[in-house]
Structure 1
Amino acid sequence: MAQHVVIAGGGPVGLWLAAELRLGGATVTVVEERRERDQRSRALTLHPRTLEILASRGAHGPFLEAGTPLPSGHFGGLGTRLDFRVLDTPFPYTLALPQARTEEFLEEHALALGARVLRGHRVTGLAQAPDAVTLRIRGPEGPYELRAAYAVGCDGVRSTVRTAAGIGFPGTPATVLGFLGDVRLDNPVPPGFAVCGPAGGVMAAPLPGGLTRLVGITPDDLTATWPGDLTLDELRAKVRAVTGHDFGLRDPVWLSRFGNATRQAERYRDGRVLLAGDAAHQHFPTGGVGMNVGIQDAHNLGWKLAAVLGGRAGETLLDTYHDERHPVGAALLESSRAQTALMTAFSPEGLALRGELSALLATHPALNATLAERVSGLSVGYPPADPAAHPLTGTRAPDLAVEGSEGLFSLLRPGLPLLLDPAGDLPAGPSAPGTIRHTGALVRPPSAWAGVRAALIRPDGHVAWASTNERDGTDGNHGR
């Protein structure tokens, strides 16, 4: 039990967290209410930073093989799309892949590492003690309890774990109801199809099996009143009103509405209970970032929780999870609110604003690059507490070309801190416990890395420490 973690929720966030914990040596049980994987994919997009995370564990192959790379994304549904090809990453694109396939690959990865996944089991409550947490669970054969060192709620916006822990989830209710339909089209639309005007906005995305996802908002959808379930006739009417055509849409597989309720957990940790993904933040699904930010939550938490359980770090390391990821969640909510305002700007003034911003994106490459970095997750950093720290501290480390390796991401695959000694300057002798040491020059490093003679990279790929001084050393502090 000492190293046991129970994760409520077997979606992408819970499964990636389970894999990270197993990589770090923890025993993991994932409790998932669904008996079978939901084939209705809420998320369709893997962003560049998420692909980097997968690559840093050698898990990216199946995703790249099954997904469709798209070199652009959108910000607020503006007419000028974001060009991801300018990003400094091995994956300068979004990868279109249904969530069901993403979950399939992540579950295979977690199971291969030794995670236990219980389907048809639901967490119904929990109780904390100073040294453990006991979860109440209802399974196919009735209720039972699991005792663990920690519990993590990856169980969505209605999180039972969050509620049972007494963690507040303040925010604002829905005032916009978007619509979604996974349908067949007799007259298919081109890739990247999107229309926005006074009658509303509609975007289309291809799905496997000859299906197309149509999503949109009309002026009638700017309401907090639930109008009932979406029907095929209503979807057809909305699409025709916005675009002038219905494209022969038929045979719906899934019809749904979604709102812009925006909330964030007051804290991501309460004693032995932690939150990640939708259990920690809820927002309008602008740009398909939600699942990606959740996986990135799990990537930040996994190595820390495993290090604490394995005795490689003190429990205070877990406090840095909230300190680092809560601001990321807050920024996500602000960006989603801003994009929602743009996506619902149907008045003449609102359309004029959209036109101005689209023109700026088309003519100012730096603006495109900044927004693409934000949407893709590549811009996320964790500012150090010490203002005198090297400028790289807290930033994401790119896939540097390092002599004697396939690249930096390959060196991170064991999920341990990585001590880079490009110049061979560091004193001989063992590194801090659980740290991998690699001596090899950086090949044509980007300007920010020029002159770096030593660096400590956290298991999640962020820089913990860097130096340009000769014969410098490291204090072995891997927490920040």
Structure 2
Amino acid sequence: MTDVSQTRAAHDVLIVGAGPVGLTLANDLLRRGISCRLIDSAPRAAQKTKALGIHAKTLELFAKMGVAHTAIERGLKSPAFRLSSDGKRIARIDFQEHLLESPYPYVLMLPQHETEQLLTAHLHSQHGAIEWRAELIGVTQDEQGADAVVRHADGKVEQIRVGFVVGCDGAHSTVRHLLGLHFAGTTFEQSFAVGNVRLAWALPYDEIVACVHRGSFIAYFPMADGRHRVVIAYELEKVPPGEVTLEEIQRVIETCGPVGARASEPADLTRFHVNQRRAEHYRCGRIFLAGDAAHIHSPIGAQGMNTGIQDALNLSWKLALTIKGLAAPRLLESYEVEREQVGEALLRGTERATRLALTRNPLLLGLRTALAPLFFSSLPGTAHRLAEALSEISIAYPQSPIVVDSRDKKGTLLAGDRAPNALIRVGGSAESCPLFEIFKSPRSILLVLAARQEAEAVERHWREVEALLSTDYQEMIELYLVTQSAVSGVQQEGKHILYDVTGELHRRYEAEQGGVVLIRPDGYIGFWGQAGVTEALRSYVQSLFCPQRERRPS
């Protein structure tokens, strides 16, 4: 009979899977004062390149966690994406030109195992740890918590009582299987060959390049060590037999381009198949799925790891407030609604892109080669939208149940959209800094945008909002007045004053007449109202958050 030890409610959350998604979730929960255990059935961390690109939105979130600067120091900034078809350039997307609103106008090329290393180091700095060779073999739940059964390397079985369980354990997720969730897929299967090589060619080393030619596809991703990660896509019936070789890679290079490019020094070669799938639910009671456990898709677009990391950071702040008894149930319920929509859109987009890349239809081939360059050159907004899509800056939650826009007249920037950046001055400082520095707070940020309203009206509205929040919501919301001129009644509270001396912030927020904007901890606009909408704001806050004096049991 197996000896089972029990650990009773020692931790708030059990995270299954210590890849980039699980590590991100653990780090952000610890930052918010939530205890967690992180387990993985593998004997140690993987040393494979796997995913490579870290996009602008993910770096913005990493900056909140305090790891963006380390990642940037280790990685390579890729400033542009170049696409060609049948030897003809279709487009070149310059991220620095089209992502000016982000502090990170590039794709950061950093192998997945190095991303995991820096996240692990950050975990250790917060006194967290990874339990390797710890396999989840059972999980049940009730209204008060979840019981997980874990088998350790020495054969001992432990039953762990926690508040919540999150499966970040990849495409073959044990958590998903134990829940019995259907992993719905498409009939569109793809095969990929990947590897690291050194390239001799005439193109700029640091740009991302993709080439397609009559049903063949190859992409090149630069790495900091001087090599490129190559990704080759095949139709299933066209997959070469056996292991991936340098000869195979060179053959595809000669088919697709660039002309004259030569590959050498192959490493980390592998072949894999993908059948795009999505879990029927991202949540079952107190058990959640994130990353590849919830959705897998084609690597074309290089968005899998980024989407998983953003799953984790959408969930973490909601989970933390729930555990602390500071959130209404609908806050945590919004995780599945918001991220399921993102996952579904990603699956549709990557399938369309892969079908177009691998098409052999003569009509489509001709249209792709002839019309795509004209499309990008004649419609400059197209390049901008593509850059925002690739960087995941365009992700938004306009249909979210926890997003409210109470303005009479709405602009192009809506509640649910990513909150823009702008230069501001904090308190009495003479130096400007990015608004995103304020966003590093683990709390939501409430901006009272005063524009150039009369001082008396600004002070009155400020006091109303301040009285609304008082001490009941201080753990959830951080309050700032944004003004373009001095406001006498609140000068003594300089740290709560942001000066928009150029008007840039008001312009980017389309708030020249003032307004109130609540920005969530994940950088999205949760509430937007015009000046003086105290009652609408009160209703919104009370619908999501529980006053600190009335903490609810999680």
Q: TM-score, normalised by structure 1?
A: 0.91
Give the drift of 1:471: 6.8
Q: 1:354 to 1:459 in 2, by over 3 A?
A: same
CA distance in 2: counterparts of 1:319 and 1:187, whole angstroms:
51
Partner SS, residue 403 of structure 1:
strand
Picking from 381, 387, 396, the partner of 1:366 is 381
Give the drift of 1:279: 0.7
The corresponding residue for 2:3 is none
Q: Relative contact order, CA 8 A, sep 6+: which one is greater? A: 1
CA distance in 2: counterparts of 1:74 and 1:311, whole angstroms:
49
Q: Is the 8 Å Cα contact of residues 404 and 528 (structure 2) preserved in structure 1?
A: no
Q: Is the 8 Å Cα contact of residues 211 and 258 (structure 2) preserved in structure 1?
A: no
Letter in 1 for 2:217: G
Partner SS, residue 66 of structure 2:
coil
1:166 paired to 2:180: yes
Q: 1:340 to 1:151 in 2, by over 3 A?
A: same
1:403 paired to 2:409: no
Note the 1:456-467 alignment, pairs <5 A. Answer: 456-467=518-529
Picking from 79, 95, 98, the partner of 1:86 is 98
1:454 paired to 2:516: yes
Q: Is the 8 Å Cα contact of residues 83 and 90 (structure 2) preserved in structure 1?
A: no
Letter in 2 for 1:372: A
Note the 1:11-410 alignment, pairs <5 A. Answer: 11-73=19-81, 79-84=90-95, 85-87=97-99, 88-145=101-158, 146-173=160-187, 175-185=189-199, 190-191=204-205, 192=207, 193-198=209-214, 200-218=216-234, 221-223=235-237, 227-243=241-257, 249-355=263-369, 356-383=371-398, 384-385=400-401, 389-390=406-407, 391=410, 392-404=414-426, 406-410=433-437
CA distance in 1: counterparts of 2:321 and 2:62, whole angstroms:
20
Q: Is the 8 Å Cα contact of residues 393 and 464 (structure 1) preserved in structure 2?
A: yes
CA distance in 1: counterparts of 2:334 and 2:17, whole angstroms:
23
CA distance in 2: counterparts of 1:467 and 1:187, whole angstroms:
54
Partner SS, residue 420 of structure 2:
coil
The corresponding residue for 2:550 is none
Give the drift of 1:361: 1.8
Give the drift of 1:212: 2.5
Give the drift of 1:433: 4.0
CA distance in 1: counterparts of 2:201 and 2:106, whole angstroms:
27
CA distance in 1: counterparts of 2:115 and 2:46, whole angstroms:
11
1:419 paired to 2:446: yes
**1:60-93 residue CA offsets vs partner (Å, 9 max, x unmatched):** 1111222222222368988313332222211121
Structure 1 range deviating more: 450-459 or 221-230? 221-230
**1:387-423 residue CA offsets vs partner (Å, 9 max, x unmatched):** 7634532221122334317433222323112222343
CA distance in 2: counterparts of 1:404 and 1:229, whole angstroms:
58
Q: Is the 8 Å Cα contact of residues 37 and 129 (structure 2) preserved in structure 1?
A: yes
CA distance in 2: counterparts of 1:372 and 1:127, whole angstroms:
43
CA distance in 2: counterparts of 1:15 and 1:294, whole angstroms:
11
Partner SS, residue 340 of structure 1:
helix
CA distance in 2: counterparts of 1:93 and 1:312, whole angstroms:
37
Q: 1:380 to 1:244 in 2, by over 3 A?
A: closer
CA distance in 2: counterparts of 1:7 and 1:226, whole angstroms:
38
**1:79-110 residue CA offsets vs partner (Å, 9 max, x unmatched):** 31333222221112111111122111222223
CA distance in 1: counterparts of 2:14 and 2:83, whole angstroms:
36
Partner SS, residue 383 of structure 2:
helix
Q: Is the 8 Å Cα contact of residues 23 and 414 (structure 1) preserved in structure 2?
A: no
Structure 1 range deviating more: 401-410 or 311-320? 401-410
Q: What are structure 1's unaligned runs of at least 5 residues?
A: none
Which protein is bigger by CA-based radius of gyration? 2
Give the drift of 1:157: 0.8
Give the drift of 1:7: 0.7
CA distance in 1: counterparts of 2:424 and 2:343, whole angstroms:
33
CA distance in 1: counterparts of 2:341 and 2:115, whole angstroms:
26
Give the drift of 1:379: 1.4
Give the drift of 1:374: 1.9
Q: 1:187 to 1:69 in 2, by over 3 A?
A: closer
Q: 1:377 to 1:2 in 2, by over 3 A?
A: same
Partner SS, residue 100 of structure 1:
helix
CA distance in 2: counterparts of 1:91 and 1:38, whole angstroms:
27
Percent identity reads: 32
Q: TM-score, normalised by structure 2?
A: 0.79
Give the drift of 1:52: 1.1
Q: Structure 1 or 2: larger strand share?
A: 2
Task: Kindly report the root-mean-square deviation, in angstroms, between the aligned alpha carbons of the 2 structures.
Answer: 2.7
Give the drift of 1:51: 1.1
CA distance in 2: counterparts of 1:122 and 1:82, whole angstroms:
44
Give the drift of 1:228: 4.2
Give the drift of 1:18: 0.9
Give the drift of 1:256: 1.6
**1:161-187 residue CA offsets vs partner (Å, 9 max, x unmatched):** 011112211012453212112134466
Q: Is the 8 Å Cα contact of residues 212 and 358 (structure 2) preserved in structure 1?
A: no
Give the drift of 1:340: 0.4
The corresponding residue for 1:436 is 478
**1:187-220 residue CA offsets vs partner (Å, 9 max, x unmatched):** 68643444322362222222343432222235xx
CA distance in 2: counterparts of 1:120 and 1:317, whole angstroms:
34
Letter in 1 for 2:222: P
Letter in 1 for 2:248: E
Q: 1:199 to 1:241 in 2, by over 3 A?
A: farther
CA distance in 2: counterparts of 1:109 and 1:3, whole angstroms:
19
Q: 1:358 to 1:134 in 2, by over 3 A?
A: farther
CA distance in 2: counterparts of 1:373 and 1:93, whole angstroms:
11
Q: Is the 8 Å Cα contact of residues 213 and 255 (structure 2) preserved in structure 1?
A: no
Give the drift of 1:225: 7.5
Q: What are structure 2's unaligned runs of at least 5 residues?
A: 1-8, 428-432, 451-458, 484-498, 546-554
**1:237-289 residue CA offsets vs partner (Å, 9 max, x unmatched):** 33344448785534432112233411111111001110111111110011211
